[in-house]
Structure 1
Amino acid sequence: SNILMDGALRHARLADFGLAKDQVKGSRTHGTTGIVVGSPGYMAPELMMRPANEKTDAFALGVVALEILTGLPAWNEDRETVALNDYAVSDNKFQEFLVDAKASWPPAEVGALGDHAVKLTYFDPNQRQKVSDMEQSNSFQEHVQRSEQALR
């Protein structure tokens, strides 16, 4: 519901994909308690211990990529594992059998996007890929070029 499509359904815009917001509870004094507000499934695990940063945003972006590939929601209490990144990733590898059959993804695109999504959703933020590093990688650049050619 937060991914907006243009009229031709060719270009997507992310309106909100779970960016966490630090909220302060109480008065304006230094002794206030911080709480984190965000959408379940999109929030990076470390948000309970640290403030939001580029790594927590990268996590949310990776979850959106997994949603696009699988057609599954980021959070589903009916699944045994409720968070999509836990369900769709095993041994740091995207589970390609979960790809949305209605999407008709080319196999090369599934592998490339799945690999990037996995790196963006690593549990340990120190191991998690930065979005800027992903954008500069050869595999991501090739993926973007193939996608642009397919849209022409």
Structure 2
Amino acid sequence: MKPRAHVVRAFSLIEAIIAIVILSVAIPAMFWAVRDAAERRVEPVMLNRARWLAAEKIEDVLADRANSGRGYGYVVAENYPEESPVAGFAGFSRQVTIVERGPDLVGPGTGYKVVTVRVNYSGARGAARTFELAAVVTDS
């Protein structure tokens, strides 16, 4: 009986080159996909923060209107200065515009104020983004 020859199994040079080529094509694509996914996750978070900042300022205006010491006459743009940046939120700025309108909310008149809060911020890829939220405040 002949003893079996011990066969050493290993990668050949061709297999190693094929593995390197496959990895060199796949790894950059995987990194690109991970980076793109991370950027896409940031956009909804930034939009949510902008929406929250706009709603917060609208609530301030509505609270001033309901306050017996301030009331409808206090709701003017001069009492709500531009915030750039918004305290605690670097990269976000906020402006309030208040326009007095008539009952149809389009033409001139009195008794109704359209309060618009505009929040500006930079998106994940640096593009300028804007979110606007509006509310109507009445005199009565």
**TM-score normalised by L of structure 1:** 0.25
Q: Which structure carries more strand by proportion? A: 2
**TM-score normalised by L of structure 2:** 0.26
Larger CA Rg, structure 1 vs 2 = 2
